[in-house]
Amino acid sequence: MAKGGFRGMPGGMNQAAMMKQAQKMQQEMLRIQEELENKTYSSASGGGMVTATVSGKHQLLGLEIKPEAVDPDDVEMLQDMIIAAVNEAFRAAEADSANSMSRLTGGLNLGGLF
């Protein structure tokens, strides 16, 4: 390797500059992860009869069920609405996380590196 950098690297970026850039990216990634963990995501199902709220840490924080959604003769419908609301809230959290990380990495797929 030639002194001062890698062949074919834009602007003759050297190892020290690459390491500094990688450290900066890692710090930014940690900041974004912490932000995402502190966010909450809500989703409703059944026309708003059931609302689930989850955290960025993938924990169920709240579950609201309107009284009129409770029909003792149709418990399965209520169960389905709960599952749908919780799963959609988790999907929203995951999509936000993927979008935030994609913006940071410029769309590069780092394969779980961070």
Residue pLDDT, tens place only, 39-59: 999 999 999 999 999 999 999
pLDDT of residue 67: 95
pLDDT of residue 110: 54
Q: Is residue 70 part of a domain?
A: yes
Neighbours of 70 (CB within 10 A): 12
H or E stretch covering 48: none
pTM over the 0.75 mark: no
Spatial separation of the C-alpha atoms in residues 107 and 31, rounded to whole Å? 18
Spatial separation of the C-alpha atoms in residues 24 and 32, rounded to whole Å? 12
Residue numbers of the domain that contains 33:
15-104
- Read off the CATH number of the domain in which 43 is found: 3.30.1310.10
